[in-house]
Structure 1
Amino acid sequence: MNRIINSQNTSDKEEQKVSSKVDRRSFLMSAGIAASVGAAMVACSKDHEPTPGTGTTVNLGAGDVGVLNYAYALEQLEAAFYIQVIDTPYDNMSAEEKTILTDIRDHEVIHRDFFKAALTAAAPSQIIPGLTPDFSTVDFKSRTSVLGTAKVFEDTGVAAYNGAGNLIKTADYLVLAGKIVSVEARHASVIRDLINKNTADFAGDDVVDTSGLDKAIDPATILAAVQKYIKNPINGSNVGK
């Protein structure tokens, strides 16, 4: 997380580039503070997770374990995506964009490892394996493709946490999920701002309704939407039951 703290020391010229209605670096620095709840429990390793055979259906399980596995699966996907984004930057990625995307990568790795640690402690025999991502539809050399996919992942992630909140029975898990979804919402906003700077799209009416509430989508719908990005078939029919 030192990268987030050290980001305050960028040059004046770079600060002028970053400045807008919302200081996107400070925005993510705040998100990093919230994400540190997971850092206290697990190391921020950037290594790829081991992967199982891609033809075997992964069953997320039931009850709180199913919800944790569900979140773990989504965080595996996001972490793998941002690891790839930073490993193979798109053409003409600016210094500002690289720093922001690197910060997001680090947050997602923390989230992934947090859920792995929680499941290892609570239900080691029921934790799902490392998943195999499928990013064949993403052109990692294209800014439009990468940021467009990031927007889908972040908006989907927020809606997924919101939709799973009412399925969590353990209060401690619910509190932690609330802290993580707030970070995901910051990610969603900053990605939207990178795509359409200085507009109201950071909280567009496609994700925030007229009551000022973000979308909440059930696990079955979320899993159907992200399945094309994961080679392993996933069964989440008992999540939260």
Structure 2
Amino acid sequence: MPEASTSTTPSGLSRRTFLTHTGVAAASLLLLTACPDPETPPLTTPTISLTGGDEGVLNYLYLLERTATELYDKVLANPPADLTAAAADLGVLRDINRHNTIHRELLLLTISANGFTANSNIGGLGFDYSSFTLTTRVGVLAAAQSLADLTVAAYCGAARLLSTPVLLRLYVKMMAVKARHAAAVRDLRTPGSFAGSDVVPQSGADAGLNQVLTPAEVLAELSKYTAPIQLSVGSLPTN
């Protein structure tokens, strides 16, 4: 009578064949466990970066003008009723917008005439002004003052970054117009105010001088209106 087999191999497989299959399976399992789980690619924030030199400064100014003209175009296309009733106020805002539009187009021409490249991403940028209340005269003037004050501080902070004298002369003329815009809007909000202590310190070493903001500070503020796209100084000169 044949002895009962003590082998635990499956029927039809020799011990050697079974061990071979087992070894392959074990090796495959080790290989799978050695492979890391697929990682989710990190989310990247869309960013517009400025170039260096005078080209970067001019594109920076172009961005400021686009931010302002888009706001004014939006308001003037459908002004709130109480702003329409204040014809003089509406007339001032229209004049400011004409100046801003001229500056925007002048900057594009200057960029081209000097052999520079206008940042196409800035030209196609959309703006979100939902943080402002543009349905009332008070809200519109507050928004206009906010951007006007920011623009003047930006111009004050970037003047030293230009290296070409002829561009600097143009820049100073534009900056003077921006200062008048800011003063005019502030006077509409509070007659006779001209300039407030929030933008022109009344004491200390900077008394009587306008607030100065660096490009990084200005772009951080402007990024609130371009989200989710962020604005970066990139290679823009800082000193």
Q: Give the gaps of 5 or more residues in structure 1.
A: 1-54
2:219 match: 223
Work out which of the residue numbers 102, 123, 126 in structure 2 matches 1:132. 126
Alignment-mate amino acid for residue 193 of structure 1: D
1:118 match: 110
Q: Encode CA deviations 1:45-82: one digit per residue, 9 max, x unaligned.
A: xxxxxxxxxx7422211111111111000100001111
TM-score, normalised with respect to structure 2: 0.73
Work out which of the residue numbers 111, 132, 143 in structure 1 matches 2:137. 143
Q: Encode CA deviations 1:88-135: one digit per residue, 9 max, x unaligned.
A: 102211110111000011011011111111112224545343121111
Work out which of the residue numbers 165, 168, 181 in structure 2 matches 1:187. 181
Structure 1 runs of 4+ aligned residues shifted over 4 Å read none
* 2:47 maps to 1:57: yes
Aligned equivalents of 1:126, 1:140: Cα separation in 2: 30
1:202 partner SS = coil
Aligned residues: 185
What are the within-5 Å matches in structure 2 for residues 48-87 of structure 1?
56-87=46-77
CA displacement at 1:234 relative to structure 2: 1.6
* 2:86 maps to 1:89: no
1:106 match: 98
TM-score, normalised with respect to structure 1: 0.72
Aligned-residue Cα RMSD (Å) equals 1.6
Larger relative contact order, structure 1 or 2 (CA cutoff 8 Å, min sep 6): 1
Q: Give the gaps of 5 or more residues in structure 2.
A: 1-44
Stretch of structure 1 that moved more, 203-212 or 103-112: 203-212
Work out which of the residue numbers 199, 209, 215 in structure 2 matches 1:213. 209
Aligned equivalents of 1:223, 1:127: Cα separation in 2: 15
Stretch of structure 1 that moved more, 123-132 or 137-146: 123-132
1:165 partner SS = helix
1:169 partner SS = coil
2:64 partner SS = helix
* Larger-gyration structure (1/2): 2
Residue identity (%): 36
Alignment-mate amino acid for residue 100 of structure 2: E
Alignment-mate amino acid for residue 222 of structure 2: V
Contact 1:120-1:127 at 8 Å conserved across structures: no
1:203 partner SS = coil
* 2:196 maps to 1:204: yes
